[in-house]
Structures are given as structure tokens and as C-alpha cells.
Amino acid sequence: MAIKEIETEKLFYSIGEVADMFDVNASLIRFWEKEFDIIKPRKNAKGNRMFTKQDVDNFRLIYHLVKERGFTLQGAREKLKGGKIEEENTNVEIVRRLEAVKGFLLELKAEL
């Protein structure tokens, strides 16, 4: 499952936009918000969650640990609390870049 990228940078993303980025339900976003304290979205006057770029990056990290690497929620929580967030962010970035290269190569192959 590839994570969908949004082309333009925004200051805040709605819960629907974040759910679309990761191709998951909004209920999973709300659940992970409760389970992981590194995600702290702001709420507007109506009470809608507004996620920052940092929140989206944290979701990407959690998504990588839970969905791609198969960690349990407890295991992901321990990994994040273990102070190895930078190491995991690097791993997530490497996977992201490799997926981009793979996509480019597949497009190139299709053109030949």
C-alpha cells in the first residue's frame, strides 16, 4: 500500500485529507490519535481536527511501524518512546524514496 502524497503544502489538513493520504478510515486516525501521544491535532471553533505537517509525519511513522513492519500498537508505542524516532524517520524516508524510484522505473518500463 503506497501512501498518497498531496502536491501542495498546507498549514493544516482535515481528518478526511489525512485518511485519504494513508488510504484508511477516519476512525483509524481518531483511534491512533488516542493511542499515541505524539499526535496532537488542533481543533477549530467547530471542533474539527486540524492536523499539522508534523502530525502527518508522525502518522506516516506510525503507519510504517504498524501497517508496513507489522508492529503491534504496544510495540510501536515502545519503539517511539525508546528515543529512536530519528532512526525510524530515516527508515520511513528511505522506504518512501525507494517507492518513488520504483514508480519511476515502472513508468519508464511501460514507455519502452
What cell does 46 get? 467547530
Q: Which domains does the chain have, with CATH numbers?
A: 13-111 (1.10.1660.10)
Give Cα 81 distance to the centre of its chain. 17
Tens digit of each residue's pLDDT (9 = 90 or more) over 63-101: 988 988 899 999 888 888 876 666 666 777 787 788 889
Q: pTM of the entire structure?
A: 0.69
Tens digit of each residue's pLDDT (9 = 90 or more) over 2-12: 566 555 577 88
Q: 3-state SS string over the chain?
A: CCCCCCCCCCCCEEHHHHHHHHCCCHHHHHHHHHHCCCCCCEECCCCCEEECHHHHHHHHHHHHHHHHCCCCHHHHHHHHHCCCHHHHHHHHHHHHHHHHHHHHHHHHHHHC
Residues 6+ apart with CB under 8 A from 44: 50
